[in-house]
């Protein structure tokens, strides 16, 4: 089911072709800043595991400690030969060196979300880029449905009278949110595991008609092999999500990253022990919530209830 308007589809399907492993691939989600972020994170983690200091790493490349810091924070583009030299010095295995060098070679492509640059907050652009590169997204949401699952009507209703989004920008923000969605991407669909609090299903966003369409959309998405949705009943009194909403991104070639958003910014969780703890929380939340089939029944029951409402 294609939810994108023609203008959004044209923007997102302005794909950039690159070659990886001898196979021509269409990359809808190229983002140099996100790639620099991932590569820098990997370089820092590999250096710390090896016991190297930044000064010692600088000697490997014949550069200053400041340059190593720029490479690790993604402020400077990492060249494939730099990545290879550093990772070899850190004792990384050959396959990992080749993967990260390949990522570095792709970090000079155009940014897919450029048409929406003016409506994306600077702090959010990194996440949009990372999400576009991810293979799997795990999401716990307590108040509203995740952006990857939203319909245009639901997304627009969430922005109504929003303090941080001017009315003149709302339509473009909705287009950007729809363009981010990859669940039905025929080339490289995103896999998602979402745990949704029951409250989010009962909150009428926009109108009964908008909410009914949104819930019907959830059921349609649940037929996809790459979509796993669990509803967390109010009857479950204590669970791992009570500490707050969070999201995890897994990548084919880079380490996983956690993400916690607040109204004017975000926190990235890069320590792999902490990421592992969040992954365990996702498994526990899925186990505590309704099964996928029972979740579908809970959603269908709410659609039926909305269908009998006189308010549309």
User: For residue 147, what is the enclosing H or E element?
Assistant: none
DSSP at 244: -
Tens of pLDDT, residue by residue over 75-121, are: 888 888 999 999 999 998 888 888 888 888 776 667 788 888 889 88
Tens of pLDDT, residue by residue over 126-145, are: 899 999 999 999 999 999 99
Q: Return the minimum-mean-pLDDT range out of 9-23, 268-282, 296-310.
A: 9-23
Mean pLDDT (whole number) for 196-218 = 94
Tens of pLDDT, residue by residue over 158-170, are: 999 888 888 999 9
- Alpha-carbon distance 35 to 13, whole Å? 20
- Alpha-carbon distance 268 to 72, whole Å? 15
The DSSP annotation for 39-67 comes to: HHHHHHHHHHHHT--HHHHHHHHT--HHH
Average pLDDT, the chain: 85
- Give the pTM: 0.79
Report whether pLDDT(192) > 90: yes
Tens of pLDDT, residue by residue over 231-272, are: 999 999 999 888 899 999 999 888 899 999 988 889 999 888
Helix, strand and coil content of the chain, in percent to the nearest 5, comes to 50, 15, 35
């Amino acid at each position: 089911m294609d939810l994108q308007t023609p203008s959004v589809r044209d923007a997102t399907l302005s794909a950039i072709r690159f070659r990886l492993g001898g196979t021509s691939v269409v990359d809808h989600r190229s983002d140099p800043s996100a790639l620099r972020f991932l590569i820098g994170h990997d370089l820092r983690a590999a250096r710390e595991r090896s016991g190297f200091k930044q000064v010692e790493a600088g000697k490997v490349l014949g550069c200053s400690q400041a340059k190593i810091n720029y490479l690790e924070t993604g402020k400077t583009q990492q060249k494939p030969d730099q990545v290879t030299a550093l990772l070899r010095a850190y004792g990384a295995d050959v396959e990992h060196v080749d993967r990260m060098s390949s990522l570095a070679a792709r970090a000079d492509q155009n940014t897919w979300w450029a048409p929406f640059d003016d409506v994306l907050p600077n702090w959010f652009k990194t996440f949009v880029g990372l999400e576009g590169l991810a293979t799997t997204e795990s999401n716990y949401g307590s108040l509203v449905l995740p952006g990857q699952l939203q319909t245009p009507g639901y997304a627009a209703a969430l922005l109504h009278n929003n303090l941080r989004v001017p009315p003149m920008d709302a339509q473009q923000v909705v287009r950007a949110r729809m363009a981010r969605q990859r669940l039905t991407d025929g080339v490289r669909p995103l896999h998602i595991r979402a745990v949704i609090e029951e409250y989010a299903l009962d909150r009428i966003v926009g109108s009964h008609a908008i909410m009914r369409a949104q819930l019907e959309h959830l059921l349609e998405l649940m037929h996809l092999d790459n979509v796993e949705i669990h509803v967390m009943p109010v009857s479950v009194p204590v669970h791992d999500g009570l500490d707050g909403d969070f999201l995890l991104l897994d990548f084919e070639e880079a380490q996983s990253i956690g993400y916690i958003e607040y109204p004017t910014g975000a926190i990235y969780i890069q320590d792999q022990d902490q990421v592992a703890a969040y992954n365990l929380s996702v498994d526990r939340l899925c186990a505590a919530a309704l099964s996928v089939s029972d979740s579908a029944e809970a959603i269908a029951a709410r659609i039926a209830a909305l269908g009998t409402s006189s308010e549309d």
